Amino acid sequence: MNATLRFDDSSITVALVGCGGFIGCHLLRALLERTQWRIFGVDLDSYRIQEFLSNSRFEFLSADLAEPAVVERIARYPVVVNLAAICTPGRYMAEAAEVIRSNYNHPAALADACAQSGSWLIHFSTSEIYGKTAADSSALVEDESEIVLGPVTASRWSYATAKLLTERYLTGLAGLNWTVVRPFNFVGPYMDFMPGVDGEGIPRVLANFSTALVRGESLKLVNGGVAKRCFTSVHDAVDFVFCLFANANVAIGEAFNVGNAENELSIADLAQMMRLVYASIKGKSESDVPGIEVVSGEAYYGKGYDDSMRRLPSVEKALRLLGFKAIVPLKVSLEESLRWFIGHYEV
């Protein structure tokens, strides 16, 4: 692997696994706009990336990592970014086995193939690997924090368990050039889906609250909305990946948090902020937008639901090794996301 991948080097092809998903569609756009590279993209869905399908520098394969021939083909490219995953908590309980296949078996097979071919595998893991963090927990540090997951009967942790095992597999696999990315609640346009329109079940909180606002239904606060998250713009996430590309020599063999600690707030405060942003976009007064309703986690998601009470990233390592810091304020991301959501789904 070259220490630096030049963005004007048209001989480079990058494989983007999950190119049709939320993060993938933004990264694909940025790669086509900001580099001269070719992109080999793999996904089951392409509705978010229709506008790129005719681009001569983009080749799209509709497939998934369950097929060994697809894995083998992806690993022929020198840089592989793996974004593919089942990553909505609404599915971690009822579909635990499929969640584990998607988040361990498939990426482990891709890692094996990349170890064989010598490709650099940039694997998107999750901040959820830090587990069942308490409300008073301190900042999560990549190479230091202790990890506690809930009991096996709390199947919420199926996802974290699989993602953590994948990280351990990558670090233990002889000959693999790996980098692990741990996203902290990325938000932006194209995140998840609207239930009953382009997906089923419960999406993550941004899409769920956006759906409620657009449909005029109350925003459901799980267990009172006291859990805290650090919401991070998907545009910051894309910039982070470019920092990796520009610093392969220091990024290989490292795991990085990608999060915006300055955006930390409780889910109850997020609900209120989204109500106000929605009211302002629509020119309504606050009393005319849907209100808030408290629901229990088990009643809402099903048996086995559990939660992390605080997910605060240490952002020091990304700054020190890559010069990266997430900068987009939450209000800016919410305005962008809600405007997009309204334009995309509201009739």
Q: Which residues bind ligand UDP (CB under 6 A)?
A: 89, 128, 185, 204-205, 208, 220-222, 225, 227, 229, 267, 307
In whole angstroms, how close is the CB of 268 to ligand UDP at the nearest point? 8
159 classed as catalytic: yes
* CB-nearer residue toward ligand UDP: 173 or 302: 302
In whole angstroms, how close is the CB of 41 to ligand UDP at the nearest point? 25
In whole angstroms, how close is the CB of 56 to ligand UDP at the nearest point? 37
* CB-nearer residue toward ligand UDP: 37 or 186: 186
* CB-nearer residue toward ligand UDP: 205 or 258: 205
Across-strand partners of 62?
Answer: 43
In whole angstroms, how close is the CB of 199 to ligand UDP at the nearest point? 13
- 3-class secondary structure for the chain? CCCCCCCCCCCCEEEEECCCCHHHHHHHHHHHHHCCCEEEEEECCCHHHHHHCCCCCEEEEECCCCCHHHHHHHCCCCEEEECCCCCCHHHCCCCHHHHHHHHHHHHHHHHHHHHHHCCEEEEECCHHHHECCCCCCCCECCCCCCCECCCCCCHHHHHHHHHHHHHHHHHHCCCCEEEEEEECCEECCCCCCCECCCECCCCCHHHHHHHHHHHCCCEEEEHHHCCEEECEEHHHHHHHHHHHHHCHHHHCCEEEEECCHHHEEEHHHHHHHHHHHHHHHHCCCHHHCCCEEEECHHHHHCCCCCCCCECCECCHHHHHHHCCCCCCCHHHHHHHHHHHHHHHHCC
Which residues neighbour 77 within 8 Å (Cβ) at sequence distance 6 or greater? 13, 14, 15, 40, 119
In whole angstroms, how close is the CB of 226 to ligand UDP at the nearest point? 8
* CB-nearer residue toward ligand UDP: 37 or 159: 159
Residues 92, 130, 159, 301: which is the catalytic one?
A: 159
* CB-nearer residue toward ligand UDP: 120 or 124: 124
In whole angstroms, how close is the CB of 165 to ligand UDP at the nearest point? 18
- Residue that the structure tokens 């997009």 belong to: 340
* CB-nearer residue toward ligand UDP: 48 or 228: 228
Write out the catalytic residue numbers: 159
